[in-house]
Amino acid sequence: VELAGLSTYSELQHFIQSHPDLLVLTGAGCSLASGIPTYRDRQGNWQRNNPIQHKEFVELHSRRQRYWARSYAGWPAVAAAKPNTTHMVMADWERKGLIRMLVTQNVDRLHQRAGQEKVIDLHGRLDQVICLDCDRISSRFEVQQRLAQLNPQLTTTGILAPDGDADVADSLVAQVVVPDCDRCGGLLKPNVVFFGDSVKRDTVNCIYQTLEQSAALLVVGSSLMVFSGFRFCRRAHELGKPMACINPGKTRADELFQLKIAADCSEVLDSLPG
């Protein structure tokens, strides 16, 4: 990783100090140093097979078998992941009154575990499971136990992929018994926004309002390739809000940033003086 020069660090400090009421938008790059992989490489291309789509999860039993088998293997590593420098620095900036609101595209809850209080989980949270029929929320830990009871053949080893997904042999997938809602027998889904689904309108409007009140937008560790995050940069641009970004690769909003530090956010924030 090529690190930015000292002048860039002072530019970043200047940006933060001169706009001490930031809206921060974070993505997968923030959790990389915690051992959770990202979807895309530095050019913004998929690193792996495309992730599951909302429609196929809801419509196809075989896809739910596949999802839960892989998620069963991937969840323990996500649950065990610890916040890193980026999460700590963001929480520190919030305590210092520099951040009005943090919006994350991550579903790992590491910002909250670092002590960040004003967080919007744009794409939901992986530690919860929701029943699509009765809306009951249950704990992912509880569902993990039920998966284990129903499927003693499953293992929790596998190469971790983004969003708590992990590689599992196809031969295991076909035998998976998928747990149902224990209240109504309905369809259980992790409480996250899958690709092909959309973020609730109220959530988006709430963020737009917060953006209007904020001094500037700072993007940390996101390529903004997904529209649900990119739209906040577009809106910030429309509102004439200054924008800065720390992300090693290209992003969809590169031409909109006043300041772009093309490096890993944990390394940048680790080296930030004071």
Kindly provide the residue ranges of all beta strands, DSSP E only, lying in 155-270, ordered along the sequence. Answer: 160-161, 165-166, 188-192, 216-220, 243-246, 259-261
The smaller minimum CB distance to Zn ion, of residues 118 and 183, is found at: 183
Tokens of 73: 């293997």
Neighbour-count burial of 201, counting CB atoms closer than 10 A to its CB (0-12 exposed, 13-18 middle, 19+ buried): exposed
**Would you count residue 181 as binding Zn ion (CB under 5 A)?**
yes
Element at 71 (helix H, strand E): helix 61-80
Position among 133, 197, 254, 270 found at the interface with Zn ion (CB under 5 A):
133
Cα 239 → chain centroid: 25
- C-alpha 50/C-alpha 248 separation (Å) is 22
130 binds Zn ion (CB under 5 A): no
Contact 124, 142 (CB under 8 A): no
Per CB under 5 A, the list member of 44, 51, 76, 186 interacting with Zn ion is 186
Q: How far is the CB of 131 from Zn ion (least distance, A)?
A: 3
> Which residue, 47 or 145, has its beta carbon nearer to Zn ion?
145
Closest approach of Cβ 177 to Zn ion, in Å? 17
Please report how close the Cβ of residue 146 comes to Zn ion at its closest, in angstroms. Answer: 14
* Residue selected from 35, 42, 134, 175 as contacting Zn ion according to rule CB under 5 A: 134
Residue-wise burial string across 213-240, b where 16 or more C-beta atoms lie within 10 A, e elsewhere: ebebbbbbbbbbbbebbbebbebbeeee
Q: Which of 19, 87, 111, 123 is catalytic?
A: 123
Size of the site for Zn ion (CB under 5 A): 8
Q: Is 167 in the site for Zn ion (CB under 5 A)?
A: no
**Applying CB under 5 A, which part among 111-119, 124-132, 237-245, 263-271 lies near Zn ion?**
124-132
Q: Which CB, 35 or 185, lies closer to Zn ion?
A: 185
DSSP string, 237-251: HHTT--EEEE-SS--
Q: Is there binding between residue 131 and Zn ion (CB under 5 A)?
A: yes
Note if 123 is an active site residue: yes
Interacting span for Zn ion (CB under 5 A) from 39-47, 130-138, 153-161, 233-241: 130-138
Closest-CA residue to 13 (of 85, 98, 104, 84): 98
- Return d(Cα 12, Cα 75) in angstroms, integer: 35
In this complex, which beta carbon is closest to Zn ion, that of residue 11 or of residue 133?
133
List residues with catalytic annotation: 123
Residues that bind Zn ion (CB under 5 A): 131, 133-134, 136, 181, 183-184, 186
